[in-house]
Amino acid sequence: MTTFDDRERQFEAKFAHDAEARFKIEARRDKLLGAWAAEVLGLEGDAATDYARSVVRADLEEPGPEDVFRKLRSDLPKKLSDHDIRKKMAECLDQAMKREAQS
């Protein structure tokens, strides 16, 4: 084995680790967003949990957060602006990143 091979394996391992961490952070963000949106919609208990899961699943439709934004925009009352939703998305992402850093 050469040093180059070792280095290549280290980069691949780091890439895989970073991708897994990114996935966990985004899933945590979506769960937090789902809980917030469920509260806004007046959902409780199992209905709130199911809604939060649906937000997590929505993020699997395409790369990036726009699929989640579209779901929230279509489900939430129009009194909430796009800016309000995107601001909450950013807040939940920050919370998710902090939790990932702690674990």
For residues 61-85, average pLDDT: 93
Q: Which two tokens stand for residue 21?
A: 């961490």
Chain segment 51-61, per-residue pLDDT in tens: 999 999 998 88
Q: List, in order, residues 6 or more apart from 51 with CB less than 8 Å away.
A: 34, 37, 38, 41, 43
Structural domains in the chain plus CATH codes: 26-102 (1.10.790.20)
Residue holding tokens 């909450």?
88
Predicted TM-score (pTM) of the model is 0.83
Distance CA 77, CA 5 (A): 54
